[in-house]
Amino acid sequence: MAGTKRPEARIRGASLASDAVVKLGREIRRSRIRRRLRQQALAERVGISRALLAKMEAGHATGTSPEVWFALAVAVDRYLKFEFARDPAQELADAGHADIQELVLRVAKQAGYRGGFELRTRATDPSRSIDVPLLSRQARGLVIAECWNTFGDLGGAARSSQQKLTIAREAAVVLGGDGEPYDVGLCWIVRDTKRNRELVARYGHIFDALLPGSSLGWVRALTVPGAELPTQPGLIWSDVRATRLFSRRRQLSGS
């Protein structure tokens, strides 16, 4: 309708399209010249006029369909990508895991720990890292905090934690200097979901053997300044929204 003001999104979109067409045109021209192709020859490969190709190379063809741009890319053996960037409203792929890490770092800092994030334990293997390493020089303690949004391989997770414990104990000797090595602890922080609850209940004896330390003691160690570090590895819960930590209540069983 005449006199109707274009929406801001259309104005911005037109500007972005114009910039993109200029860049695409330059790339097509450079690719054509590298391949020693004349405009007429390339235009014939794609089935367009030489005049249209000239306009596209000059950045004056914003109305040209994406099909023609992709055809030109194919004709000069170039890869053309046409896609949305990451949606800023979309959560990170590891958002649940990162939420727990953020919680542990925050509460542990209040308890006197200096925290880290994804500390690599093997320079040659980026996948081997401690989720949240925590260090307290005053308490002479080093904690491996492993954050679990969900479990995929319980045995693999256990082996990974044991390897990290071995590495941490070696580091504890270095940190201790001429004195006693730092105390080393391992704690699993698990998201309190129905699936994780069922998993811990189903394999209760395995979790008790793997993480026998006091769950309440670990909550205190990570949240209360000066609290004693449990001597055995333990498991505690994070609520689903990763706003607080709380202890695991073991199920009594006669078996």
**CATH of residue 140:** 3.40.1350
Asked, for residue 4, whether it belongs to a domain, the answer is no
pLDDT per residue as tens digits for the range 19-58: 999 999 999 999 999 999 999 999 999 999 999 999 999 9
What is the per-residue pLDDT across 104-162, written as a single tens digit (0 to 9) for each?
999 999 999 998 876 665 545 545 678 888 999 888 999 999 999 888 788 989 998 99
Task: Please give the tally of structural domains in the chain.
Answer: 2
Residue 204 resides in a domain: yes
> Could you give the CA distance from residue 225 to residue 112 in angstroms, rounded to a whole number?
6
Domain with 43 in it: what CATH number?
1.10.260.40
Q: State which amino acid sits at residue 212.
A: P
Tokens of 203: 């394999």
**Cα separation, 180 vs 186, whole angstroms:** 19
Is residue 177 left, alpha or beta, with left meaning phi > 0 and alpha meaning psi from -120 to 50? left
